[in-house]
Amino acid sequence: MADLDEFRRETRAWLEANAPASMRTPLGEHEEPCWGGRKARYDNPDVKRWLDVMAARGWTAPTWPTAYGGGGLGRDEARVLSQELAALRLRPPLVGFGLTMIGPTLLQLGTEELKRTHLPPIVRGEVRWCQGYSEPGAGSDLASLQTRAVLDGDHFVVTGQKVWTSYADQADWMFLLVRTDPTAPKHEGISFLLMDMTSPGVSVKPIKLISGYSPFCETFLDNVRVPRTQVMGEVNKGWGVAKALLGHERTMIADIGKGFGGETRTRTAVQLARDYLGPREGAIADPAIRHRLAQVEIDQRCLDWTLARSRDEAKAGHAPGPETSIFKYYGTELNKRRRELMVSILGPQALGWEGDGFDSEELEITREWLRSRGNSIEGGTSEIQLNIIAKRVLGLPD
C-alpha cells in the first residue's frame, strides 16, 4: 500500500507539472476528443503536447506492455492513474478504436510481428483505425458478409463494400472481415485482415445522419491488394478473431453514455434539472423527474462497477466472453433513457434544431438524443445481444 501511495503522489505531481492548463477544461462547442492519426488537425497545440507527453510515458495505453510502447502498469496503478486524471479533470490524451478494439485484440491474438508493427503507433496516436465489419447485406447477421479476398502470390486481392464504417474518412488503417473460402459453411472461410486505407482501390463516401452528424461512411474496395502478412489468426479462421474483437467493442459501447474518456460537453442531467426546474424545499422541484434521475444514476453506478470489474478481469488475463453482450445491451439502453430524460427536463427548449430561440447546449442535447437511438443498433442490435445472452450466457435452447 505504501508503494501505491507513493505512486499516487508521484503521478499527481507529474500530471500537475506536465498537463497543459487547457486540458483541464471541458471540450468546447466544436471540439472533439483527440483521435490522433495522420489526418489529425491540432488547432489547439496543447492537445498535441498533452498527447505527446502522455504517450512518451505509455500512459495513453497504461496497462499495455512497455515492449509495445505501453505503460506497463498493474491494474492497481492504472486505477490510481485514472483516479488522478479524473481528480484533476484532465481530458483523455487519446481515444479511438486502436486503443479500445484492435489494440486489445492484437495483444490477445496477434503475432509478435503484428504487435510490434501496429501497437506502438497506436500508443503514440500516429495511426487512426476503423472497423470493416458491416456490409449492405450483412449487418446484424455479420457472417453473411460477401466481400471476397483471393490469394494472389504474397497478397490477398479484396473486392466488396463495407457500410456504417465509423470515421473511415479519417482513418489510416482498417481491420476487416473478408470471405476467403466461399464454399465453406457460413461461419468458416472468413479471414481477418489489417488494411492500409491508402492502398489503391479504397474509396470512402460519408453517410449523413438525422442528427446532422456524419461519423459513418460507405467504404468501397476494388481489387485492393493486402499483404498476406497482415492476416490476424489463421486464414479461413477469422470468425474467432472477429468474436474476440466484438467482446472489446461491446464493452466500449456500453460505456458510451459518458462519452469517450468520460468527457461530455453538456451539463449532467442532475445539473440541468436544478437549472431548468428549480428547487422545492432544497430538492429538484418535479418529483417524477427526481425519481427518474435517481433510477438512472443508480443504474449507471451499477454498470460502472460491473464494467470496472470486467476490466480488472481482462487485465488479469481473462479474455472477454459473451457476457459483454449484457454490457452492450444495458449500457446503450441506459444511454437512451438518460438522453430521453435530459430532453424531458428541457421541455419545449428541446424542440429546436436551429435558430436564436435555443442555445448551443440545448441544440446539442437534442442531437445527442437522436444519436443515442443508433447506439442500440451499431455493434449489433439490442435484439441480437438478447439472443446471445439467451443462448450463450443463459444456455437457453433455440
Query: Which of 84, 249, 362, 368 is labelled catalytic?
Result: 249
Given the DSSP bridges, would you call strands 216-227 and 155-162 parallel, antiparallel or unpaired? antiparallel
Is residue 249 part of the annotated active site? The answer reads yes
Q: Do 36 and 94 contact (CB within 8 A), yes or no?
A: yes
- CA separation for the pair 334, 269 (Å, rounded): 13
CB atoms within 10 A of CB 29: 9
Hey, what's the cell of 378? 451499431
Q: Do 68 and 121 contact (CB within 8 A), yes or no?
A: no
First-to-last alpha carbon distance for the chain, in angstroms, is 50
Q: What DSSP assignment string belongs to 31-78?
A: ------STT---SSHHHHHHHHHHHHTTTTSTTS-GGGT-----HHHH
Q: Do 272 and 342 contact (CB within 8 A), yes or no?
A: yes
Residues that are catalytic: 249
